[in-house]
Amino acid sequence: MRSGSYDFAEPPVQQNIWGARELASRGPRVFAVDFSDRFDATAPADFRDANGRIVLGYANVARRNNRLIGGPASQAINHSLVSAEILPDSLVGKPWSLLDKAETATFRVVRAVADLECSGVFDSLNAYDNAVISVGPYHHILLLQSGRGRRARITGAELGAYLAYLQKTEPASYDGLLAANGAGFKPVVNGRINWQRDNAARVYNAMIKLQGADGAFAKPVSTLGLSEHFRGWHWFYRFSCAARTDPGFRLGYWFMTRLRLWDILGAEWDGRSMEDDRIMQTRPMMVGDVFRSELAVAILLRYHVSAPGMIIRRGQAAPLLRWALRKAGLDGHTARPRDWTTENESRLIAHLRDGIENGYEVRPGVRVRALKNWTKGHAGDLIDWPISQNYLYTGNPPRSRLGPASDNEALRRLSHDREFGFSLHSPEWGTPPWE
Sequence-separated (6 or more) residues with CB below 8 Å from residue 64: none
**Percent of the chain whose predicted confidence (pLDDT) is above 70:** 88
pLDDT value at position 53? 86
More confident residue, 421 or 19: 19
More confident residue, 24 or 297: 297
pLDDT tens, position by position, 11-64: 778 888 998 899 888 888 899 988 887 887 778 888 887 788 888 999 998 888
pLDDT value at position 407? 52
pLDDT value at position 5? 42
More confident residue, 42 or 251: 251
Mean pLDDT within 280-288: 88
Nearest to 306 by CA among 234, 241, 371: 371
How large is the greatest C-alpha to C-alpha distance in the chain, in angstroms? 74
Give the count of alpha carbons within 13 A of 399, CB side only: 11
Q: What is the DSSP letter of 373?
A: S
Lowest-confidence range among 46-50, 98-102, 126-130, 405-409?
A: 405-409
More confident residue, 167 or 44: 167
Residue 83, pLDDT > 90, answer no
Residue 6, pLDDT > 50, answer no
More confident residue, 13 or 268: 268
Domain boundaries defined on the chain: 87-260, 269-411
Cβ atoms of 96 and 104 closer than 8 Å: yes
Give the count of alpha carbons within 13 A of 1, CB side only: 20
Average pLDDT across the chain, whole number: 86
pLDDT value at position 1? 41
Cβ atoms of 147 and 171 closer than 8 Å: no
Q: How far apart are CA 312 and CA 302, in angstroms?
A: 12
Sheet arrangement for strand 140-146 = 131-135, 140-146, 153-156
At 388, the pLDDT band (50, 70, 90 cuts) reads very low
Q: How far apart are CA 131 and CA 145, in angstroms?
A: 6
